[in-house]
Amino acid sequence: MSKPSQITLADIATRLKVSKVTISKALRDHPDISSTTKERVKEVAKELGYFPNYFARNLSSKKSGAIGVLVPKIAHHFFSSIIESIYDTALKHNYEVILMVSQEDSRREALHLHTLLSMRVDGLLISVSKMTPDMSIFREIEKLHIPTVFFDRVLNDLSFSTVTTDDVDGAYTLVSHAIEQGFRKIAHLAGYSHTNIGIHRRQGYERALQERGIGIDKNWIIEGGFAEIDGKKGFQKLLRSGNLPEMIFTVTYPVALGVISAAKEANIKIPEQLDIICFGGSDYNKCVYPSITCVEQPAKDLGEKATLLLLQKIINGEGNSEKHLVLPTQLFRGDTCQPRLKKQNSER
């Protein structure tokens, strides 16, 4: 069956023999309308099962009451946590969320952003894909002066507000911890060097090594993506090189799982024969063996802070003031990266 036409203001108006504007105002508690009329209107509205047409309302009021969110992935613990937190925060402030997924594809990114713009969202929350971005769409957004906040994966050469994890510090803390536990040969499965998180985590890694006088071996830095498959590939490359490190620091949690999985296949035991640490964890990490020692990303916090910052821009009209929030990570000590004294003795 075709969709039946739904109840409109006019329906209630004819029923009560008043103008539809009266209905509109009554439902929005406009002072023009007497309280008795308001009551009658609301009663009939409920009785008929009326609910306003979102399109019509927003077309005439020129507000959408919604924020647009663009993420590269959903099925990834980190992003799904952020998304959930964005939804909750937006709801608390009576905003709707329109979510789009680029699937790490920059063409889809542009497509979806256009759709969000056509929906006249009041603001945008964006985390960019890992591909080289198509800058033109972002410049377009810049020109339109739509309140926008980038989170987690940001573009540095644009003048947007950002909410990010303290990637440099997190990586630095984590790798420093590993060094303190006695590890020296630490490889890094890094992210792409054109993404902020890739660059920064690598910087933290390099700084930790340098400060402790450990040389950086370019062969032990392998660039790749952020997914499981990249971990597998990275590990296999290290394995083929015949020069396995004592410790691998991976740019994300999924990459670490990829390494563990590949190591399992290659019959290399973690953490006995090879150890691992990573940037970011998951709720589940603590439940399994080995639980990976990592720095936990403040996913919930990131979503909330980014949303609040955006709402501030929307509501207070602080559209073009540029702010940069950087949130700290927290070290989690799991089963990997345990003190290395015994092993050092037995091996050397």
Strands 324-327 and 161-165: parallel
Q: Out of 25, 108, 194, 300, which residue is the one contacting DNA (CB under 7 A)?
A: 25
- Closest approach, Cβ 8 to DNA, in A, equals 3
Query: Distances from the Cα of 4 to the Cαs of 1, 21, 59, 272, in angstroms?
Result: 8, 24, 22, 66
- Do residues 97 and 69 make contact, with C-beta atoms less than 8 angstroms apart? yes
Task: Give the residue from 126, 87, 94 showing the smallest Cα distance to 110.
Answer: 126
Ramachandran class of 42: left when φ > 0, alpha when ψ lies in -120 to 50, beta otherwise: alpha
- Closest approach, Cβ 55 to its own copies, in A, equals 4
**Distance from C-alpha of 346 to C-alpha of 348, rounded to nearest angstrom:** 6
Q: Out of 14, 28, 144, 193, which residue is the one contacting DNA (CB under 7 A)?
A: 28
- Closest approach, Cβ 261 to its own copies, in A, equals 4
Instruction: Using the minimum distance from each CB to its own copies, give the nearer residue, 83 or 190.
Output: 83
- Closest approach, Cβ 15 to DNA, in A, equals 12
Please give the backbone phi and psi of residue 256, each rounded to the nearest 5 degrees, phi first.
-60, -40
Size of the site for DNA (CB under 7 A): 30
Q: Is residue 135 involved in binding DNA (CB under 7 A)? A: no
Instruction: Using the minimum distance from each CB to DNA, give the nearer residue, 31 or 215.
Output: 31
- Do residues 256 and 231 make contact, with C-beta atoms less than 8 angstroms apart? yes
282 binds, among its own copies, DNA, none (CB under 5 to 8 A by kind): its own copies
Beta bridge partners of 96: 66
Q: Out of 1, 2, 3, 60, which residue is the one contacting DNA (CB under 7 A)?
A: 60
Please give the backbone phi and psi of residue 15, each rounded to the nearest 5 degrees, phi first.
-60, -40
Q: Is residue 59 involved in binding DNA (CB under 7 A)? A: yes
Instruction: Using the minimum distance from each CB to DNA, give the nearer residue, 20 or 343.
Output: 20
Contacts of 187 (CB under 8 A, 6+ apart): 220, 221, 222, 238, 245, 247, 248, 249
- Closest approach, Cβ 142 to DNA, in A, equals 21
Instruction: Using the minimum distance from each CB to its own copies, give the nearer residue, 64 or 307.
Output: 64
Q: Out of 14, 29, 34, 156, which residue is the one contacting DNA (CB under 7 A)?
A: 34
Task: Give the residue from 203, 182, 181, 341 showing the smallest Cα distance to 279.
Answer: 203
The neighbour count for residue 306, using CB atoms within 10 Å, is: 28
Residues that bind its own copies (CB under 8 A): 1-4, 6, 49, 51-56, 58-59, 64, 73-77, 80-81, 83-84, 87-88, 91, 96-101, 103, 108, 114-115, 117-120, 122, 140, 143-146, 228, 254, 257-258, 260-261, 264, 282-284, 286-290, 317, 319-320
88 binds, among DNA, its own copies, none (CB under 5 to 8 A by kind): its own copies
* Stretch of 33-41, 78-86, 263-271, 322-330 lying at the interface with DNA (CB under 7 A): 33-41
18 binds, among DNA, its own copies, none (CB under 5 to 8 A by kind): DNA
Q: Is residue 8 involved in binding DNA (CB under 7 A)? A: yes
21 binds, among DNA, its own copies, none (CB under 5 to 8 A by kind): DNA
Helix, coil or strand: residue 66: strand
**Distance from C-alpha of 42 to C-alpha of 38, rounded to nearest angstrom:** 6
**Residue 223: burial class (beta carbons within 10 Å; 0-12, 13-18, 19+):** middle
Instruction: Using the minimum distance from each CB to its own copies, give the nearer residue, 14 or 55.
Output: 55
Q: Is residue 6 involved in binding DNA (CB under 7 A)? A: yes
Locate 195 and state its tokens: 């993404």
Q: Out of 15, 20, 42, 184, which residue is the one contacting DNA (CB under 7 A)?
A: 20
- Do residues 168 and 201 make contact, with C-beta atoms less than 8 angstroms apart? yes
Q: Which residues bind DNA (CB under 7 A)?
A: 5-10, 17-22, 24-25, 27-28, 32-34, 36-37, 50, 52-53, 56-57, 59-62
